[in-house]
């Protein structure tokens, strides 16, 4: 492992990509500590110390921003608007024929969809930035803080607009930094920044659990949580790498004097075909009603119900809806990302078939049957991983946004595996030795 790192830095062009990526990460982390204008920095620090604001409503956004949301900094919204915009565009591609046609146009169509994603990201950043400012002014962002009303001393419309513009500009800058990493660095830029944002919250969250512990000055709770975390990482790695390989045989074809085909291959169907997208989209969907409730004045019945059930994250209704939405979006995303009929047609076109299955429609039905069978355990696995911290670690002062829980661990493992594979492939092109032996 260590020799793999050494070989990576000894390769000139790979070293440049790694150093460029590290430089962008440094810039990103600096931006998460620069407060926006119009905010009382001392009051914010006091509220972060007093309040448990990283739980509930804005917990997911705070996690994806690397803790910048509670600090109300330039990168307070982080990468969350871009993630939501990307998922929405992926879902709309199936619904809107124009977007589906663009997707089939190749690189030019992909560039156009990327442009639409950027526009939608800015719109969502404005919406979420307005929600954050409204929540800060009302005191709900820092629930339980004695000086929550002093976080924004000037509550004029002009100051509010300036704050929203700065946070939107910060999100746009984060989006640009991610694209720079994708073009000139290592791995997918947005995924790398997401990885860094989540990993940045690990030390403070783990230390908070140690301080809140009561057994042996908190070290027993700390050690227990670390053991549970490593077990969850091992489980996630095992399931993420699991796949069902469907054998495919290609018949021999004579073209002129040459023989083509006759090879055997397979179609890899992952158990977790949808990745972390169902968890993110379910969290975002449950976040919308709570965000709308922030703009409602008074104590209307529907607002109180939303705050009691969808904000705390520990209410049985929230847990049930969260689990059901994850299962639903797992099936939904697999249905739109993998088309059995298209795969069956391509196999038939090039003379491929699954042994024992007729080409054409029977092949599509078989692929659909297998995909549905493996999606069930994959979706249940996602739901359980997302809910384990809420149900099992609350005794240690943790919640659904605990570092070793749900969304965070799925992203950490997924991005880590993908980045290592990219570095390994580039090393094998030069040294024929992998990153991992």
- Domains contained in the chain, number: 2
Residues 6+ apart with CB under 8 A from 251: 261, 262, 351, 352, 353
- CB contact at 8 A, 386 and 406: yes
Bridge partners of 259, per DSSP, are 254
Q: Please report whether residue 286 resides in a domain.
A: yes
- CB contact at 8 A, 282 and 325: yes
Tell whether 164 and 244 lie within a shared domain.
Answer: no
Tell whether 342 and 322 lie within a shared domain.
Answer: yes
Tell whether 147 and 193 lie within a shared domain.
Answer: yes
Tell whether 217 and 352 lie within a shared domain.
Answer: yes
The 10s digit of each residue's pLDDT in 169-217 is 999 999 999 989 988 888 888 888 888 888 887 777 777 777 776 767 7
Full-model pTM: 0.77
DSSP assignment letter at 153: S
What's the rounded Cα separation, in Å, for the pair 82 and 178? 10
Tell whether 181 and 224 lie within a shared domain.
Answer: no
State which H helix or E strand residue 338 sits in: none
CATH, residue 398: 1.10.3370.10
The domain of 167 spans: 1-200+432-437
Tell whether 279 and 358 lie within a shared domain.
Answer: yes
User: Residues 18-56, buried b or exposed e (16+ Cβ, 10 A)?
Assistant: bebbeebbeebbebbeebbebbbeebbebbbeebebbbb
The 10s digit of each residue's pLDDT in 241-299 is 888 888 888 776 666 666 665 677 888 888 888 877 788 778 777 777 776 776 666 67
175 backbone dihedrals φ, ψ, rounded to 5°: -60, -40
Place of tokens 């620090």: 45
The 10s digit of each residue's pLDDT in 322-354 is 889 889 988 888 888 888 888 888 888 877 888
Residues 6+ apart with CB under 8 A from 287: 57, 60, 61
Q: Please report whether residue 415 resides in a domain.
A: no
């Amino acid at each position: 492992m260590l020799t793999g790192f050494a070989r990576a830095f000894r390769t000139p062009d790979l070293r440049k990509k790694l150093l460029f990526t590290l430089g962008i990460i440094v810039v990103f982390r600096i931006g998460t500590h620069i407060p926006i204008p119009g905010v009382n920095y001392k009051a914010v620090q006091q509220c972060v110390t007093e309040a448990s604001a990283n739980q509930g409503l804005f917990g997911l956004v705070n996690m994806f921003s690397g803790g910048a949301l509670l600090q109300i900094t330039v990168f307070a919204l982080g990468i969350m608007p871009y993630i939501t915009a990307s998922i929405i565009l992926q879902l709309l591609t199936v619904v809107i024929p124009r977007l589906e046609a663009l997707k089939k146009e190749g690189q030019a169509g992909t560039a156009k969809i990327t442009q639409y994603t950027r526009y939608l990201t800015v719109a969502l950043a404005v919406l979420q930035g307005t929600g954050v400012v409204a929540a800060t002014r009302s005191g709900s962002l820092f629930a339980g803080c004695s000086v929550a009303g002093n976080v924004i001393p000037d509550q004029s419309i002009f100051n509010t607009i300036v704050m929203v513009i700065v946070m939107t500009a910060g999100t746009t800058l984060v989006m640009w930094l991610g694209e720079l990493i994708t073009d000139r660095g290592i791995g997918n830029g947005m995924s790398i920044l997401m990885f860094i944002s989540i990993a940045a919250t690990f030390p403070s969250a783990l230390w908070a659990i140690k301080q809140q512990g009561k057994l042996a000055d908190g070290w027993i709770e700390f050690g227990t949580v670390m053991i549970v975390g490593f077990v969850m990482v091992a489980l996630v790695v095992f399931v993420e790498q699991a796949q069902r390989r469907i054998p495919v045989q290609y018949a021999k074809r004579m073209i002129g004097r040459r023989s083509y085909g006759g090879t055997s291959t397979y179609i890899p169907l992952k158990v977790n075909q949808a990745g972390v997208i169902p968890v993110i989209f379910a969290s975002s969907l449950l976040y919308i009603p709570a965000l709308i409730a922030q703009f409602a004045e008074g104590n209307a019945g529907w607002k109180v119900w939303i705050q009691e059930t969808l904000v705390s994250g520990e209410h049985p209704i929230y847990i049930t809806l969260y689990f059901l939405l994850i299962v639903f979006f797992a099936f939904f995303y697999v249905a739109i990302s993998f088309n059995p009929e298209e795969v069956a047609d391509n196999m038939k076109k090039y003379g491929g078939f699954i042994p024992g299955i007729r080409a054409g429609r029977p092949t599509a039905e078989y692929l659909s049957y297998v995909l549905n069978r493996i999606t069930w355990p994959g979706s249940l696995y996602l739901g359980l991983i997302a809910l384990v911290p809420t149900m099992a670690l609350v005794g240690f002062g943790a919640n659904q946004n605990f570092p070793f829980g749900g969304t965070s661990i799925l992203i950490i493992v997924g991005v880590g595996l993908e980045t290592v594979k990219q570095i390994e492939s580039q090393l094998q092109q030069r040294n024929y030795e992998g990153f991992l032996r």
